[in-house]
Amino acid sequence: MTSLSATSRSKRRPAASWLRSPLANQIKAPVVCIGLTLVLWQFLAQFNSEGFPGPIQVISQTWDPYIINPFFDDGGTSKGLGLQLLISLQRVAVGYSLAAVIGIAAGLAIGLNRFLRRGFDPLIQVLRTVPPLAWLPISLLLFQQADSAAIFVIFITAVWPIVINTAVGINEIPQDYTNVARVLRLRKRSYLGDILMPATAPYVFTGLRIAIGLAWLAIVAAEMLKADGGIGFFIWDAYNAGGDTSTSQIILAIVVIGLVGLALDRLVGAVGTLVAKGGK
Amino acid sequence: MDRAMVTVDNVTRSFNLPKGGTYVALKDINLNIAEGEFISLIGHSGCGKSTLLNLMAGLDQANTGGILMDSRQVTDPGPDRMVVFQNYSLLPWQSVRQNIALAVNNVMRESSQAERHERVEQSIALVGLGHAADKLPAELSGGMKQRVAIARALAIRPRLLLLDEPFGALDALTRGNLQQQLMQICQQAGVTTVMVTHSVDEALLLSDRVVCLTNGPAAGIGQILKVSLPRPRERLEVMEHPDYYRLRGELINFLQQQRRLKQNRQPLSTSLPSPSVRQPASDAVAMAQRTVRIGYLPGLDIAPMAVALDRGFFSDRNIQLIPVVFHRWQQMEEQLRAGDLQLAITSASTPLALTLGLHSQPSWPAITPMTVTRSGNAICLAQRFRDLHVHTLPDLAALLNARDERLRLAVGQKGSMQDLLLRHWLASGGINPDQAVDFQVLSPLAIQSALRNGEIDGFIAGRYRVAKAMETGLGYVLATDLDIWSGHPEKVLTCHQGWAANNELLLLDVCSALIRGGQFCENGGNHDNLVGLLSRPQWLGIDAALALQRQFNLGNAQNTSNLLPLNRYHSDRAHVANSAEGAWILTQFSRWGWNPFPRNRLELLGQVYRNDFCSAALEQEGLAALSPDRYPIELACGGPFDQDEPLSYLEALPFNHNTAIAVTPLPSGAVRRATTTTETPAS
DSSP-assigned letter for residue A193: I
pTM for the model stands at 0.67
**pLDDT over threshold 80, residue A6:** no
Which helix or strand (DSSP H or E) is residue B222 part of? strand B221-226
Q: Do A184 and B138 touch (CB under 8 A)?
A: no
DSSP-assigned letter for residue B391: -
Average pLDDT, chain A: 86
User: B563, B183 in Cβ contact below 8 A?
Assistant: no
CB-CB: which of A177, A185, A194 is closest to B78? Answer: A185
Residue by residue, DSSP assigns A24-80 as HHHHHHHHHHHHHHHHHHHHHHHT-TT----HHHHHHHHIIIIIT-TT-B-STT-B-
Distance CA A139, CA A152 (A): 7
Beta strands in B448-574 (DSSP E): 458-462, 475-480, 489-496
Q: Do A184 and B136 touch (CB under 8 A)?
A: no
Q: What is the pLDDT of residue B296?
A: 92
Q: Do B89 and A280 touch (CB under 8 A)?
A: no
Q: What is the pLDDT of residue B419?
A: 94
Of B467, B322, B281, the C-alpha closest to B380 is: B467
Higher pLDDT among residues B497 and A6, named by residue: B497
Q: What is the largest CA-CA distance in chain A?
A: 85
Among A196-210, B181-195, B419-433, B578-592, which is the least confidently predicted range? B181-195
Residues of A in contact with B87 (CB under 8 A): 176
Distance CA A130, CA B487 (A): 77
Q: What is the pLDDT of residue A26?
A: 84
DSSP-assigned letter for residue B265: -
pLDDT, one tens digit per residue, over A146-201 is 888 889 999 999 999 999 999 999 999 988 899 999 999 998 889 988 999 889 99
In a mutational test of the A interface, the residue from B106, B139, B157, B162 whose CB has the highest number of chain A CBs within 10 Å is: B106
> Which residues on neighbouring strands pair with residue B7, listed in sequence order?
B32, B68
Does a cis peptide bond (omega within 30 degrees of 0) precede residue A131?
A: no
> B313: helix, coil or strand?
helix
pLDDT tier, B555 (very low <50, low <70, confident <90, very high otherwise):
very low
pLDDT, one tens digit per residue, over B375-387 is 888 899 999 898 8
User: How crowded is residue B500: how many other Cβ atoms within 10 Å of its Cβ?
Assistant: 23
Average pLDDT, chain B: 84
Q: What is the pLDDT of residue B287?
A: 54
> Which residues on neighbouring strands pair with residue B210, listed in sequence order?
B40, B225
Q: Do B102 and A279 touch (CB under 8 A)?
A: no
- Rounded to 5 degrees, φ, ψ at A229 are 170, 165
Distance CA B550, CA B564 (A): 12
pLDDT tier, B236 (very low <50, low <70, confident <90, very high otherwise):
confident
pLDDT, one tens digit per residue, over B186-212 is 888 888 999 999 889 899 999 999 999
**pLDDT over threshold 60, residue B582:** yes
**pLDDT over threshold 70, residue B432:** yes
Of B187, B237, B185, the C-alpha closest to B208 is: B187
- Rounded to 5 degrees, φ, ψ at A243 are -75, 180
Which whole number is the average pLDDT over B324-350?
Answer: 92
**pLDDT over threshold 90, residue B573:** no
Higher pLDDT among residues A270 and B541, named by residue: A270
Q: Do B103 and A184 touch (CB under 8 A)?
A: yes
Which whole number is the average pLDDT over B13-37?
Answer: 88
Question: Residue A101 to residues A93, A108, A165, A216: CA-CA distances in angstroms?
Answer: 12, 11, 13, 18
Chain B nearest-CA distance from A186, in A, is 6
Q: What is the pLDDT of residue B24?
A: 86
Q: Does B97 touch chain A (CB under 8 A)?
A: no
Which whole number is the average pLDDT over B250-259?
Answer: 86
Closest chain B CA to residue A176: B89
Query: What amino acid is encoded at B269 in this protein?
Result: S
CB-CB: which of A176, A183, A279 is closest to B77? Answer: A183
Residue by residue, DSSP assigns B60-96 as S--SEEEEEETTEE--S--TTEEEE-TT----TTS-H
pLDDT tier, B102 (very low <50, low <70, confident <90, very high otherwise):
very high
Distance CA B94, CA B178 (A): 23
Distance CA B54, CA B405 (A): 65
Question: Residue B340 to residues B294, B324, B333: CA-CA distances in angstroms?
Answer: 9, 10, 10
Residue by residue, DSSP assigns B646-682 as HHHHHHHSTT-----EEPPPPPGGGG--GGG----TT
pLDDT, one tens digit per residue, over A18-71 is 777 888 888 888 999 999 999 999 999 888 777 788 888 888 888 888 888 888
Closest chain B CA to residue A175: B89
DSSP-assigned letter for residue B446: G
Q: What is the pLDDT of residue B233?
A: 85
Chain A nearest-CA distance from B106, in A, is 6
pLDDT, one tens digit per residue, over B259-310 is 877 776 655 544 444 444 444 444 555 555 688 999 999 888 888 999 999 9
Q: What is the pLDDT of residue B643?
A: 87
In a mutational test of the B interface, the residue from A180, A182, A204 whose CB has the highest number of chain B CBs within 10 Å is: A180
Of B17, B84, B30, B34, the C-alpha closest to B213 is: B30
> Which residues on neighbouring strands pair with residue B32, listed in sequence order?
B7
Of B372, B621, B425, the C-alpha closest to B508 is: B621
Q: Do A179 and B76 touch (CB under 8 A)?
A: no
User: B145, B84 in Cβ contact below 8 A?
Assistant: no
Q: What is the pLDDT of residue A89?
A: 93
Distance CA B103, CA B148 (A): 12
Q: Name the pairing type of β-strands B371-374 and B366-367.
A: unpaired
CB-CB: which of B79, B87, B136 is closest to A183? Answer: B79
Q: What is the pLDDT of residue B34?
A: 92
pLDDT tier, B560 (very low <50, low <70, confident <90, very high otherwise):
very low
Residues of B in contact with A183 (CB under 8 A): 57, 59, 77-79, 81-83
Residues of A in contact with B93 (CB under 8 A): 198, 278-280
Chain B nearest-CA distance from A187, in A, is 7
Distance CA A57, CA A64 (A): 12
Does a cis peptide bond (omega within 30 degrees of 0) precede residue B137?
A: no
Distance CA B175, CA B166 (A): 9
Distance CA A91, CA B191 (A): 62
Q: What is the pLDDT of residue B229?
A: 87
pLDDT, one tens digit per residue, over B27-60 is 889 999 999 899 999 988 878 888 999 999 999 9
> B291: helix, coil or strand?
strand
Distance CA B13, CA B29 (A): 9
Chain B nearest-CA distance from A272, in A, is 14
pLDDT, one tens digit per residue, over B669-681 is 444 433 333 333 3
> Which residues on neighbouring strands pair with residue B465, listed in sequence order?
none
**What percentage of chain B exceeds 70 in pLDDT?**
90
* A246-279 helix and A231-241 helix, angle to the nearest 10 degrees: 170
> Which residues on neighbouring strands pair with residue B83, listed in sequence order?
B162
Q: Do A280 and B93 touch (CB under 8 A)?
A: yes
Residue by residue, DSSP assigns B580-634 as HHHHHHHHHHHHTTSSPEETTHHHHHHHHB-HHHHHHHHHHTT---PPP--SPB-
Highest mean pLDDT among A96-105, B426-435, B671-680: A96-105
Which helix or strand (DSSP H or E) is residue A183 part of? helix A175-184
Q: What is the largest CA-CA distance in chain B?
A: 95
Distance CA B632, CA B646 (A): 11
Q: Name the pairing type of β-strands B377-382 and B475-480.
A: antiparallel
**pLDDT over threshold 50, residue A3:** no
Q: For chains A and B, count residue pairs whose Cβ atoms are closer than 8 Å.
A: 54
